[in-house]
Structures are given as structure tokens and as C-alpha cells.
Structure 1
Amino acid sequence: MNDTTTRRPSAAGFGIFTLILIAVCIALGVWQLQRRVEKHTLIAALDTRLAAPTAALPPPSAWSTLSSAKDEFRRVTLTATYAEQPDAMVFSSGSAVRDDISGPGTWAFLPTKLTSGETVVVNAGFVQNTMQDRAVEDRVAGRLVTGAPVELTGYIRFPEPPGRLTPKEDPSKRLWFVRDHRAMAQALGWGEVAPFYIDLETPVPESGTPKPGPLKVRLKDDHMQYAITWFSLAAAVTIAFGLWWRGQRRRAG
């Protein structure tokens, strides 16, 4: 078998591999552009919900129709009483939707009772640097549990699933690492709760702690940079193959 016969199958195989690699890079670039369009649509929808006039919380009969896709970040009002039940804290290193929050701390989750008897969980706000200090957290929650109805304004939010690296919750300390209010309710005996929770905006306690506030959507949008990277890789692979092929032809000639 001569060198020419050996080189032809090798060149053909390398050419097929290169075409597959180029096609994959282009497909990933196109996918990133599609993701960019979807992300911009989502940002526009969330901004519209945040800017919409405040509405009353939908009645319990409509809760089963609410979903994250169409109701996340809707701004609502409700009148509820903070229940005399144990609170839960969710550790956080900051916030992607609150400009006024930075550094480690916990979000204070408390069950509230509507006048109709249903339980709605409220994220009453941020408590700075209290991940392990239950005494501080208990005093914070105790200020809110007065037994009197309170008019609350906030945003409908839905629970988040834990990731692969999410630390396991510690029910003995009433400490969680994801905002899963249903898991909190089951562990702490809150009973049946609404499928969503409320991120509180107002009222702000006189002490300022926990610290509720307005939300602002800041979704990361790097899809154009990723698309350019993939298309650039496809171009680089094409150029490299072209140079290699030209060199092969010159040696063959």
C-alpha cells in the first residue's frame, strides 16, 4: 500500500470530522441566538409585570391556575395575619432582584393567615449576617407576629428546586438554602400553604429588619457573546482545515 492510498482515507476521515465539528459550532451559535430572543422576551414580560398596577391577590379558587410562566413577579396586595408558628430562614449571599441587598444574610419566611383561613407564606425581607444566630432571627420574627391583620404588598413568587451542590436544609435550626416554602411548611408544621409565596415590598418594619423592598429583574444576558464565540470557533476550524488541506495538496503535487 503506497503513501497516497494511506493519505486519502486519512484526509477523508479528517474532513468528515471537521465538517461535523463546524456544524456543531454553528448549531450551538444559532441556539444561543434563539436563547437570546427567548431571554429578551422573558425580560420584557417580567418588566411589564413589575410595572403593572398593583392588584388584589387572586382568590384561593384561582390559585391552581397560577404559574411561574405567566404570574411570577405579579405585584399584589393582601390582608393577612402573621401566624404564631415557627419561622424559617433561607441563607443567601446576595440578591439578583434587589439592588439594595449585598453580602451574606438570610431571608425571613413566615406563614400568614388570610381572613378566609388559607395560609400564604411571606418572605418578609432580608436579615443581614444571621445565618447561624437563631436568637437574632427569633427576635426579628417576633416583632412581626402581633396577632393583628396587616395589609401587605408584594410579588408573587414560586418555589425553586435545589441544585446538585445545594447544601441540605437544617430543620433543627429552621435554616434552608433554597426558597422552597412548601418544604418549609411540611417540616415546620405550617399546614397546607398556597403554591406560591409573597416577596414582601411593604410595609417596612420600624426597625428596618427584616428588610423588604421593591424587586428589579436583572437576568444575565451573555447569549450574544456565546454565539459570537461559537461562530468564531466554526470560522477558525474552517480556516485551519483549509490551510491543512492546501498543505496536503502541495505535498501530493
Structure 2
Amino acid sequence: MNGRRRLGLAALALPIVAGLVWLGIWQVHRLAWKRALIAQVAHKLASAPVDAPGADRWPALSSADSYTRLVVRGRYIPAVPTFVQAATTLGPGYWVLSPLRSDRGFTLLINRGFVPQGDKARPIPTPAGEVAVTGLLRLNEPKGGFLRANDPADDRWYSRDVNAIAAKRGIGPVAPYFVDADAQASPGWPRGGLTVIRFPNNHLQYALTWFAMAALLAGAVGWMALRPSKD
């Protein structure tokens, strides 16, 4: 291969090497972000619960508030529970959502916990009287799930879309979040405390892959440039 062809191939390969290096660096930054996120959530889970955000704080809520431990006091509103398809360590079934009117005057949905598929048809009584619920703040889920869209008309739910559920149940405006209730001391269903908190973290593996590909390609270009010409 003559020198001109070698220079041409090197000119084509070097931008690819640069792109692979950039991808590796990007994954390193993603790794730092993911580790910070995991540490942040772990800190929230270990913290004492704080009061559930009232209406004055709703506009400022963001994903950074997810998994904050909350406590809310009030009374459940008598209403038909909403069953949302779920898959947990206990198998397939449903989350049971019920509206609660807080003692501070706003309404929010409580994910009281999980019930197996066969328990959906059984009566699930709503707790009476004043209650105090502790759990995790979860933001509204309006986009459906399990590759299926929610169907309010048929009361079929695949994600916890609090606004659509509130409209279906006729309970008026609700908080833009729901609370995943903690596990209760009493046995039975619904069973709380089954929130899945998992953040896949493969960024180091991806970074090493991109850097290795860049090194291999750069090595091939270097070998090609330095090998004796046969011309």
C-alpha cells in the first residue's frame, strides 16, 4: 500500500477513533452521575420522613424529589380502589390506589400496596378514621406501561396516572404525585413496602468497551502507517 493510500485511510480512521474516545468519556460522566444518583436515593431512604408537599410546592416538584420519604395524615375518601397492573417479587398482580384527604386540605393518591391477581375480585376495605401514612414520593406516571396505554373508560390501568385516575373516580384535583406506602406491621393485603428501586449501572463497562475499540482502531492505523511499504 503506497503512502497516499495510507494517509487517506488514516484520515478516515482518526475521526472514528476520536468519536469512540468521546463516547468513552461520555460514559465516564454518566457513571459519575449514576453513582451520585444512587447515593442520593440511598440517603433519602435512610432519612426520617418529612411532610408530604402541599399545593404551594407542587409546581417545583421534579424527578429529584422522587423516593423522598414522606408522612401524610388524614382520612381516606370512600371510593372504589383503583387497581394498577404490577409485577413484584411476590409475582404478578396489582397495586391498590386509594384517595386520601390530608389534614392540610389537599387530596393525593396512596398506593396502599400490592395484591395478587386472584385478590382483585375480593373486597378490599378502605381504612376508616384518621390515619398516618408513611412512604415514598413517586411522581405521576401518565404514559402507561407494560407496552400498553391506560384505558380509563374500561378502568384498565398500566401505570399510576394520578390525574386520569382522579378524573375517573370523580375526586377532583389531586397532588401530582402519589405515595408508595411502607410495609405495615399487620399481615394481609394490600402489602406495602414493595417499591422497586433499581438503577442499572453498566456505564463503566460501556466506557471500557468504547476505549478498547478506540485503542484497537488506533493501533491498527499505527501499524498500517509504520509497516514497510511493498511498493
Is the CA contact 2:94–2:115 (under 8 Å) kept in the aligned structure 1? yes
Distance change in 2, residues 1:251/1:240 (3 Å): same
- Match for residue 221 of structure 1? 201
Identity of aligned residues (%): 31
Q: Is the 8 A contact 2:145 2:159 kept in 1?
A: no
Structure 1 range deviating more: 146-155 or 55-64? 55-64
Residue of structure 2 in register with 1:137 after alignment? 120
Distance 1:105 1:171, change over 3 A: same
TM-score (normalised: structure 1)? 0.79
Q: Structure 1 CA distance, aligned partners of 2:54 and 2:86?
A: 31
Letter aligned with residue 25 of structure 2: V
Q: Say if 1:83 and 1:147, in contact at 8 Å, map to a contact too.
A: no
Q: Is the 8 A contact 1:39 1:221 kept in 2?
A: yes
Equivalent residue number for residue 97 of structure 1: none
- Is 1:86 the counterpart of 2:80? The answer is yes
Q: Which runs of 5+ in 2 are unaligned?
A: none
Q: Which residue of 2 aligns with 1:64?
A: 59
Q: Does 1:108 align with 2:96?
A: yes
Contact 2:183 2:191 in 1 (8 A): no
Equivalent residue letter for 1:114:
S
Structure 1's unaligned 5+ residue stretches are 95-100
Matched letter for residue 161 of structure 2: D
For the pair 1:42 / 2:37, whether they are aligned, the reply is yes
Say if 1:152 and 1:203, in contact at 8 Å, map to a contact too. Answer: no
Deviations 1:28-65, CA, capped at 9 Å, x for gaps: 10000001111111111111111111223244333333
Query: By how many angstroms is 1:165 displaced?
Result: 7.3
Distance 2:154 2:145 in 1: 22
Structure 1: distance between partners of 2:207 and 2:149: 36
Deviation at 1:80, TM superposition (A): 2.4
Cα shift at 1:244: 3.3
What is the CA RMSD across the aligned residues, in angstroms?
A: 2.6
Shift of 1:205: 5.3
| TM, length-normalised to structure 2 | 0.86
Write the distance in 2 (CA, Å) between the matches of 1:229 and 1:44: 25
CA spacing shift, 1:102–1:15, aligned 2, 3 Å: farther
**What residue is the counterpart of 1:156 in the other structure?**
137
Q: When the two structures are aligned, how many residues end up with a matched partner?
A: 231
Q: Which amino acid aligns with 2:45?
A: L
Does residue 171 (structure 1) correspond to residue 152 (structure 2)? The answer is yes
Conserved 8 A contact 1:111-1:122:
yes
Partner Cα distance (2:91, 2:18) in 1? 43
Amino acid at match of 1:78: V
Instruction: Tell me the equivalent position of 1:190.
Output: 171
**Match status 1:240 vs 2:220:** yes
Shift, 1:121, TM fit: 0.5
